[in-house]
Structure 1
Amino acid sequence: MLCVLALVSAIAPLATDMYLPGLPLMTESLNTSAPSVQLTLTTFMAGLGIGQLVVGPLSDGLGRRRLLIGATVVTTLAAMACALAPTVETLIAARLFQGLSGGAAIVLARACIADRARGDSAARLFSIMMIIGGVAPVVAPLLGGALLGPVGWRGIFWVLTAAGVAMFAGVLILVPETLPEENRHGGGLTALVRNLHYVVGNRVYLGYAFTFMFGFVALFSYISASPFVVQNVLGLSPGQFSMVFAVNAAGMVSAAIVNTRLVGTFHARQLLGFGVTLLLAAGAVLLLAATTIDSPPWWAILIPLFVSVSSIGFVMGNATALAQGEVTKASGTGSALLGAGQFGLAAVVSPLVGIAGPDSAVPMAVAIPSAGAVAMLSLLVLTRRTRTS
């Protein structure tokens, strides 16, 4: 069940990164412009946020399983529509539905675990999901690049269609309903407003949620800016950048593995505090190197960057579990706000880290410790009365 839910959560990075190498070919094949093709990514990301906001609260009244089955069906059909799209307008519409259903799948997978586990157990499960799902962003661009030549960009969407079929079968066979009838809320606008008020009114939930969101902001700052920093600033080749990206991803996954071993020996909040402290400290060293050294050597940037990225392995799973544990009566709504904030802030930070141009590491070096500082403040101020036992 956990592996199926991890695959469901991985559909977003797979559907985002796998087709990126084919964007130039899509422009030529569909006889359109580059901005039009780039809209396929914009609508997908918008759909991810909207899908989570709509389906998360809805699942608190209707349950998880039926909606999750529906989401995997729509994801599969949308990928098929992308593969068959005759025009860029059709592709844009199909990508919107792929994003909506992908966002629904993500929020439902997170809510399923929150229904079944609490405290350290939930932190361990979310960390395991992160380990499995963390492989997707690393594998997706490599897989997409390898497939582009033999099968073309349409073939990549057929591969995503096959992944959707696998998700549907896995959910149908291995994922039961996790929200009992007696724990569901009535539908309608009144119930939605009540659930939102319950979640947003929980100060401790907000503290952990902001810690989660700004941990992801730090990670996305790195993802958005690192291709330019590593290649343009440090002078490494595209192949060397791929190695750097893989090593940093391995560091984050390894940290998540260590986290799963330590949960139980240490409380999830202690491990979260350690992760945020590590993120802030490494980010500060990165900022110092980027702003005080002219033409910094590779190690002055890449070592603190590796530590910063690795620290996320202690942040995401623990923050998710602790946040969801605060709103057990509306796990779907709580999960929806986590996801919407996560992708919404990521969309905002993406252009900001390139504000100084492709030849500067300073914006990324500012963004990472700044995100770490907000995460630390959220953890210390908003959750300070939380019991740690």
Structure 2
Amino acid sequence: MPSLRTAAAPVTAALVVVTGVGPIATDSYVAALPAVQVSLGTSAAVAQLTLTAFIVGMAAGQILLGPVSDGRGRRGLLLGGAVVFTLTSLLCALAPSGPVLVAVRLVQGLAAGAGIAIGRAVVGDAYPPAEAARRYGTLAAIVFLGPVIAPAAGGAVLAVGDWRTIFFVLTGFGGLMVLAVLFGIPETLPETERHGGGLGATLHRMADLGSDWSFMRHVVLQSVVVCGFFTYIGGSSFVLQEVYGISESTYATIFAVNAGAMAAATIGFRQLVGRVGPERLRAAGMGVSTVAAVGVLGGALFERVNGEPPPLAMTWVLLTVLVGGMGLTIPSATALAQEAGRRSRGTAAALAGGLAFLCGAAVTPLTGLLGYGTLLPMAALMSGFFVASVLMLLLVGRAGVSGGADPGAGSSARPSRPSGRSGAAHPATGAAERS
């Protein structure tokens, strides 16, 4: 079987650029939403929709373009996505109205999503399972710092310019993406390893992995965990400011510390995954986050009974632990899903990342709908999702044992596609780490 392991390896910094564009283009822009509304003479709903359109486009870009890369190669699509991101960033800066900005942001999100999914596929192409898992941890550590760095960077830009200036800066970042692909990311999927680029072949790959429980169990599990995490992202700002009366700057500090804990945990993941394996690290991360979420729920019940919330310090520590656990869970889940779907790595990255992102986006508004005057709605939702994920992990583990399949073996039990890529060519991540 032809092997990609002898191909030129991509430059890690280049992969960071193409996969990190999503959080940068999202979070650097949030503070400018009120200014967009005033400048374009539109409604708050349309201004908010410019953010929503980007998020939807980013999820769709992963789901649509990741599978296409399995048939047409990685580098061309990455380069095209970088060029489109650059052009749409410039068009956003020049947008004359709210509806135009919404439409262009949707396309910009599609281009960003391509970089996320295909960048992960490149890692799986270029490295054996154990090293790929470490690389996922590195990318995750950088990407998770986006929510910390991007708002501050956006605020600095707004101090010297306006919301259009942010998009001019993103235009420059898009140019950096183009250079990163041209000089830092070689083609890692040669023609002999491709599965066919037509629509039928693309849909077949999606159906193939979508019907493979040895792959989809990792995706479903990750999606449930991400729902719990996005409940925190979508609700913590409202809840903490309402319940504890803290200022926006204090909340920004809390959010930054928590994101820093997550980034630190991903660095720990990189150091440990070669010895411990992604399955154990995923279980550890989920367990830590679940215990912390239940702890927040206990504090919410205390508030319900006594009429006063628990000390802010206690809630903050628990949320820090919860978010830190995600720094182990997400890169582990990424590594396991990519290895389980290694016969179609672009499609695997698309389904794992895109579906989890869509699920998380769907639950983000739930805290606001249920109310944020107390800790209870957010705490109950987080606990529910995390406890459900742990129960599911136990059931998935039993199913893998009873079925005789290694839980990390992924697609090895499935026949390979007729492209020449063998589904059992490499040991599974979990099995490799335990051997």
TM-score (norm 1): 0.96
Counterpart residue type for residue 387 of structure 2: A
Rounded to whole Å, the distance in 2 between the matches of 1:75 and 1:193 is 25
Contact 1:9-1:106 within 8 A present in 2 as well: yes
* Alpha-carbon distance, 1:248 to partner: 0.4
Percent of matched pairs sharing the same residue: 38
Contact 1:290-1:301 within 8 A present in 2 as well: no
Instruction: Give secondary structure in 2 for the equivalent of 1:86.
Output: coil
Greater radius of gyration (CA): 2
Which residue is 2:104 aligned to?
Answer: 94
* Alpha-carbon distance, 1:375 to partner: 2.4
* Alpha-carbon distance, 1:300 to partner: 3.0
Rounded to whole Å, the distance in 1 between the matches of 2:377 and 2:239 is 10
- The CA deviation string for residues 91-143 of structure 1, in whole angstroms up to 9 with x for no partner, is 11210110111111111111111212343322211011011111111111111
* Alpha-carbon distance, 1:7 to partner: 1.9
Which residue is 1:338 aligned to?
Answer: 352
Q: Is 1:316 paired with 2:326?
A: no
Query: 1:206-245 to 2 correspondence within 5 Å?
Result: 206-245=216-255
Shift in alpha-carbon separation, 1:198–1:377, aligned structure 2, 3 A: farther
Contact 1:220-1:346 within 8 A present in 2 as well: yes
Q: Is 1:382 paired with 2:392?
A: no
TM-score (norm 2): 0.86
Q: 2:61 aligns with which of 47, 51, 70?
A: 51
Rounded to whole Å, the distance in 1 between the matches of 2:24 and 2:150 is 5
* Alpha-carbon distance, 1:371 to partner: 2.0
Rounded to whole Å, the distance in 2 between the matches of 1:275 and 1:20 is 29
Q: Is 1:23 paired with 2:36?
A: no
Counterpart residue type for residue 5 of structure 1: L
Task: Report the more deviating stretch, 373-382 or 262-271.
Answer: 373-382
- The CA deviation string for residues 294-339 of structure 1, in whole angstroms up to 9 with x for no partner, is 3221123112111100000110111101111011111111111112
Which residue is 2:421 aligned to?
Answer: none
Rounded to whole Å, the distance in 1 between the matches of 2:372 and 2:297 is 17
Rounded to whole Å, the distance in 1 between the matches of 2:331 and 2:318 is 22
Contact 1:73-1:168 within 8 A present in 2 as well: yes
* Alpha-carbon distance, 1:280 to partner: 1.2
Query: 1:1-389 to 2 correspondence within 5 Å?
Result: 1-293=11-303, 294-296=307-309, 297-383=311-397, 384-385=400-401, 386=406, 388=431, 389=434
Counterpart residue type for residue 341 of structure 2: V
Rounded to whole Å, the distance in 1 between the matches of 2:12 and 2:212 is 28
Contact 1:206-1:382 within 8 A present in 2 as well: no
Rounded to whole Å, the distance in 1 between the matches of 2:144 and 2:121 is 19
1 or 2 for the larger relative contact order (CA 8 Å, sep ≥6)?
A: 1
Instruction: Give secondary structure in 2 for the equivalent of 1:264.
Output: helix
Computed over aligned residues only, the root mean square deviation of the Cα atoms, in angstroms, reads 1.5
Rounded to whole Å, the distance in 2 between the matches of 1:118 and 1:316 is 19
Contact 1:74-1:98 within 8 A present in 2 as well: yes
Rounded to whole Å, the distance in 1 between the matches of 2:137 and 2:224 is 17
Q: Which runs of 5+ in 1 are unaligned?
A: none
Counterpart residue type for residue 131 of structure 2: S
Instruction: Give secondary structure in 1 for the equivalent of 2:300.
Output: helix
- The CA deviation string for residues 181-228 of structure 1, in whole angstroms up to 9 with x for no partner, is 221111223312321232122212212212322232222211111111
Counterpart residue type for residue 167 of structure 2: F
Instruction: Give secondary structure in 1 for the equivalent of 2:368.
Output: coil
